[in-house]
Amino acid sequence: MRRLPAEHRGAFRAPFGRLFPSIDEARACIRNGMILSVGDVVTHNLISGGLQPAVAVVDGYTERHVPIPLPRIPGSRTIRVRNPAGYLTDELIAAVRDALASPPTTIEVHGEEDLAVVPLALAAPDGAVLVYGQPGRGVVVTRIDPQQRRRAELLFALFEEAEPGHIL
């Protein structure tokens, strides 16, 4: 399990890709390639807009506190994991790898899913399109390539090893 120290949280505020006001405006960048989504609203909007993710990571909340119905990729299998806010559990990282190896898969997170962008970017094949919401700003879209994977490695390096202890 890895924990993101408070002093490194600012590194995650900058979009990990190109910021668009909406899914509709990002559609042309999303169409080609394996689609990976993080977040309930983004996943719902992709599916309702006819863009089916190969992997979706959701937690049943929007903006961390407002419960919403869990979106599921039609015909997908579901993997359920625990991942507290500010952490990347081994369970979540393993689920991401499993999901990428056998899509379509919806990963339901008990806890917080927003940092799943990092293991997805690390494990996704070149050409995959990663989509996630930037609260109050829109949707971020990035195409995975060696440069983005290196950026994800740098972000992952900001985490520190942590014992699971009482947090789960």
Strand pairing report for 35-38 and 129-134: parallel
DSSP 112: -
d(CA 41, CA 27) in angstroms, rounded, equals 15
Residue-by-residue pLDDT tens, the chain, 168 positions: 999 999 999 999 899 999 999 999 999 999 889 999 999 999 999 999 999 999 999 999 987 688 888 898 999 999 999 999 999 999 999 999 999 999 999 999 999 999 999 999 999 999 999 999 998 899 999 999 999 999 999 999 999 999 876 555
pTM of the model: 0.94
